[in-house]
Structure 1
Amino acid sequence: MSLSLLCSNTPEGRRRKDIRYLVYDLGKFDEPTQKLLRIAADCLSNSSSTSTTSDNEDDGGCEDTGSRGKLFQHKSPVPKMGRQTYKMWKASLELSMGLFSRANLLDKPKTLHFWPLENFPDAVTTNFRVPGFDLIEFLVHFLQTYFPGLDVRLENLHDINTDDSNLVSRYHKKTKKKQFLVSDLYSQLHSLTGTLKRDFILGWTWTDLYPTEELNFVLGEASFVHRCAVLSFGRYEPLSYKVNEDLETVHGIDGDVEEDEASSVRVDGDLLWKLLRVATHETSHLFGLNHCVFFECSMNESKSISQALSQPFFLCPICLRKLQRFLKFDVKERYKGLFKVCRTLQEFYPSPGMERTCQWLERCMTFLNTENGS
């Protein structure tokens, strides 16, 4: 039996194999970042995978951060179906681009156009307390921080209600509120707005969205093929929908912003946390990231509003590895920037979700800045 085979059957060898399987080659990263990304292999420990990891190896340095527990909590067990490793993600991008144009997506600058698609009342957008921003400007600023290396451009209003576009819509049978069919929106937005096909779009509506006739609503949805995502303020407008999602409250019958609705909307920390969660999740889908089945992660699939909003704001090591390759940012600098903008938001619009995020970012930066990452 060869020495290499013997080595691959040791705990250390199996862990190296798992790391390569999940996040591939990490040689270009500094040592603390490598150690953070190597935590990916923890998800295959005690899982249904055929490989195991070493519990006493120091690559799991984030596993014990004192009484506050792990930085990354893996699924147990990790399902075999639905996995998207780094190499699977990269292969899907290359396949979608074709043999001769793959470099255009992975190795050239990327631009995201943030399009407001309807008029938002001043009570929502301009009465915003973070200095130097209105609400929409802050969302763009946050996206630029969450996705460093991405050129995020705030575009002028493009009101889809005045277009001769015949966008598919309906009135919800219980709320009697207008909803746009989200797939019809994201398939047309490049042509409606005149955006270059190679660029990405994130559209934002006041009106609610729905995915199919059989389903009530969707917070947002992205199409990797169309390079377009759309999210809606509709689920946060308090006169139309109850927090418990029972959809029994019925108000207004048209799709316009009514005066009483606009005056009733209160932009608070919880609402902002929800908007940022959905916006970053859907934008990540634009870059080819599938739903994550490995860890508790911002890219987990959700079946309800409560489930979506209970998920963490951060990416697991496997999803972080994909995003870093796509945008080529410095991992440590990204966390520093995120902590700064999250802490600022928490100061002016406190929420439990953002407070947990700030605490997590502090712990992660401590790990990355500690000698040898442990």
Structure 2
Amino acid sequence: MGSAFSLPHTHRLLIGDLSTLPEQEQKLFNLSKYVLDLKNEKIGTVSPDLSIKIVALDEKKSDEIEQKKCAESHVTINSVDVSCNAIDLETSDNENLNDVISLFYLLVTNKPYYFSQTFSQWKSFTDFSILLPLMCCQGEKRKIYIQPVDSFPSFITEAEFNINSYGGSFDFFGLLKAMMDIYFEGMTVNLLPNIDVMQSKWKIKSRLHHKTQKKQYFVQDFYKSLQKSMPSDGRCIMGISWTDLYPTEKLNFVLGEANYGTMSGIFCFGRYEPKFYDPDTHRDITEINGKLMWRILKVLTHETCHLFGLQHCWYFQCAMNESNSMQEAASQPIFLCPVCLRKLQHTCGFDVLSRYKKMLPFLRDISEIYPIPEFLHSVKWLKKCIEFIESSANVT
């Protein structure tokens, strides 16, 4: 490969050895080097050729000028977790696409690059975790299982979605499977029959939420039960529940969790977040709208990525950013940053450009069903990313 892709040692730790990848892929992954070159960057700085924008603030800085720049860049500063909502969802479709969307929004914190999970850290962790199964002659497992848990309302089970780009009409769980097929291309995704917790031998602790008086399951009780129900050829299993989950007795709600030790996880989407619950204004979910669909696809892919060993990301605005609320989770992209994408690509073995080209018409069809800003922006982002990968520009 050309010298443009010769990486210093620190960048190899961050992103891994790119020498065996096609140059088009190397160019995209090599954008991650900007994580290492932030000493003099300012909030709002843009690299127009590479579509990198600096959007987050060092946690120790708080002067009014920096705060104003953050506001202009649509950045939300959290005292505990540096996060951002840098997507300009109000921009007109008629504006030049290259001026509207940056490929990646770079997070700036006062932490060293290795504070977040580098590729080398991820690879060492996952290589060790799969060593024992291989030594036991079980071979590499490449199937993801989706496990619906308990019943779902009729507007979920009777829903149909016309996704022409992916073969026609899908029911709700078929749509989720199709999304997972594309997102984790190279793996096989299978949908398991619904399981009734009460009728099964699963021992899942439950309680009534103190405000909503709705049933909640203790999330950690699902891990081993899901692991036991996973077929022997499964790499991981993700449960989907309409019933709320809670992580500890002191905490009131969790959207979803994944446990790498058991290769299992579960998430729920049946009600709005209990901590915002107001009995005078609250209404239960009675239909699948765009906001709900976006939330479901976001959480499903995020939690499954955890089962591939990916930890929360502090490098870019990324699908693997940590979130502490539904609103925060919904503000984050559904796409992985270069560092996290490299980890998933290394495991699944997909061609990045081919994957994005399959994802584009799929999300375009969904955006026609639910034309909300999140899906419309995702379609624009994919177009720009594909254009960048296919362009002749070099990253040096």
The TM-score, its normalising length taken from structure 1, stands at 0.82
Unaligned runs of 5+ in 2: 54-96, 163-167
Shift of 1:251: 11
Secondary structure at 2:380's aligned position in 1? helix
Q: Does 1:16 align with 2:8?
A: yes
Q: 1-side partners of 2:381 and 2:161: how far apart?
A: 24
Tell me the residue number matched to 1:121. Answer: 153
Tell me the residue number matched to 2:180. Answer: 143
Residue 208 of structure 1 aligns with an amino acid whose one-letter code is: D
Tell me the residue number matched to 2:342. Answer: 321
Shift of 1:75: 1.0
Secondary structure at 1:132's aligned position in 2? strand
| Structure-to-structure mapping, 1:247-326, within 5 angstroms | 247-249=277-279, 265-326=286-347
Q: 2-side partners of 1:30 and 1:311: how far apart?
A: 29
Q: Does 1:63 align with 2:52?
A: yes
Shift of 1:200: 1.0
Tell me the residue number matched to 1:6. Answer: none
Shift of 1:14: 11
CA contact under 8 A between 1:79 and 1:293: conserved in structure 2? no
Residue 264 of structure 2 aligns with an amino acid whose one-letter code is: C
Q: 2-side partners of 1:79 and 1:275: how far apart?
A: 31
Secondary structure at 2:276's aligned position in 1? coil
Q: 2-side partners of 1:14 and 1:142: how far apart?
A: 35
- Once the two structures are overlaid, the 10-residue window that deviates more, 108-117 or 317-326, is 108-117
Residue 16 of structure 2 aligns with an amino acid whose one-letter code is: Y
| Structure-to-structure mapping, 1:1-374, within 5 angstroms | 16-47=8-39, 61-63=50-52, 66-68=98-100, 70-77=102-109, 79-80=111-112, 82-98=115-131, 101=134, 108-130=140-162, 131-191=168-228, 193=229, 195-196=231-232, 198-236=234-272, 245-249=275-279, 265-372=286-393
CA offsets, 1:193-244, max 9 Å, x none? 35328531111111111111111111111011110010112235xxxx57xx
Q: Which runs of 4+ in 1 moved over 6 A?
A: 12-15, 55-58, 102-105
CA contact under 8 A between 1:174 and 1:250: conserved in structure 2? no
Secondary structure at 1:199's aligned position in 2? strand
Secondary structure at 1:371's aligned position in 2? coil
Q: Counting helix residues as a fraction of each chain, which structure ranks higher?
A: 1
CA contact under 8 A between 1:23 and 1:318: conserved in structure 2? yes
Q: 2-side partners of 1:57 and 1:248: how far apart?
A: 45
Q: 2-side partners of 1:150 and 1:21: how far apart?
A: 26
Residue 151 of structure 2 aligns with an amino acid whose one-letter code is: N
Residue 202 of structure 2 aligns with an amino acid whose one-letter code is: S
Secondary structure at 1:234's aligned position in 2? coil
Q: 2-side partners of 1:194 and 1:89: how far apart?
A: 24
Shift of 1:246: 1.8
Distance change (3 Å), C-alpha of 1:349 and 1:104: farther
Secondary structure at 1:174's aligned position in 2? coil
The TM-score, its normalising length taken from structure 2, stands at 0.78
Shift of 1:77: 2.9
Unaligned runs of 5+ in 1: 1-11, 50-54, 253-259
CA contact under 8 A between 2:264 and 2:307: conserved in structure 1? yes
Q: 2-side partners of 1:94 and 1:250: how far apart?
A: 52
Q: 1-side partners of 2:40 and 2:122: how far apart?
A: 21
